[in-house]
Amino acid sequence: MQNNAAVTLDTRIVETQLRRYAVLYFMVGLIEKELRKRVVITLSSLANEKGYSTWFSIIPSTEVLKRSIKKALRRNGNQTKGVEEYLSFGFWRRIFIGSNYIALWIPALHLVFPALVNPLEKRSFDRVGTHLHRASHIRNRVAHYEIRETADFEQEKSVLMWLIRAMDKTHVPIGEIEIPLH
C-alpha cells in the first residue's frame, strides 16, 4: 500500500501535467480557429480572382487533401459553406508545405501571417510549415495524452506562441526570432 505522501506527490504531478496539457491544447485550438478563418478568407479572394467557385478549389490537389475535403463535404451534408469546420488540423498544416509556396503562399497565404518580417521569402514559408508541423505533433500528443518529459512544455509552448504571434498583425514582426525545433 502506498503512503499518503507518495499519493499526494503523484496527484500533484498528474494535476500539473493536466494543467500543462490544457494550456497547450487551448493554444492549438486558437491556432486552428484562426487558420480556419484566415485561410478561408484569403483563399476565397484568390479563388474569386482566378474564377473558382470555392476557396478549396484553388488548393493544389493531392490525394490526402482531396480525401480530407471529400470527407469534410460529406460530414457537412455536401454543403460547401462551413466545410472548413470539418477539416482537421492536419489539413491546415498540409497546405503550408511543398509546392504550395508558389501556388498559394506567394499570391495569398502569406497574408495569414502578417507579423512575419519578410513574408514572401521561402524561408518564412518554411518556418511556418515547420512550426505547423510541430504544432500538429503537439496537438496529437496532447489529444492522445502521451506523457513526456515536463521539460518539453516550455519548448512546445514557445512553438505555439511563435505561430500565434506570427498571425497577430498588431505584434512586433518576428522574422528574426529563432526557436529551436528539436
Residue 168 is inside which H or E element, if any? none
pLDDT of res. 114: 94
- Structure pTM? 0.85
Residue 144 contacts by C-beta under 8 Å, 6 or more apart in sequence? Answer: none
Q: How far apart are CA 81 and CA 92, in angstroms?
A: 17
Residue 71 contacts by C-beta under 8 Å, 6 or more apart in sequence? Answer: 86
Q: How far apart are CA 122 and CA 110, in angstroms?
A: 10
pLDDT tens per residue across all 182 residues of the chain: 556 655 676 788 888 888 888 999 999 999 999 999 999 999 999 999 999 999 999 999 899 999 999 999 999 999 999 999 999 999 999 999 988 999 999 999 999 999 999 999 999 999 999 999 999 999 998 888 776 655 588 899 999 999 999 998 776 555 444 444 44
Sequence-separated contacts (24+) of 25-34 with Cβ below 8 Å: 25/139, 25/142, 25/143, 27/157, 27/160, 27/161, 27/164, 28/89, 28/135, 28/138, 28/139, 28/142, 28/160, 30/164, 31/135, 31/160, 31/163, 31/164, 31/167, 32/89, 32/92, 32/139, 34/164, 34/167
pLDDT of res. 177: 43
Q: How far apart are CA 128 and CA 14, in angstroms?
A: 32
Q: For residue 6, how many other CB atoms are within 10 A of its CB?
A: 10
Q: How far apart are CA 136 and CA 50, in angstroms?
A: 30
pLDDT of res. 155: 92
Among 95, 157, 84, 88, residue whose Cα is nearest residue 125: 95
pLDDT of res. 171: 60
Q: How far apart are CA 161 and CA 163, in angstroms?
A: 5
pLDDT of res. 3: 64
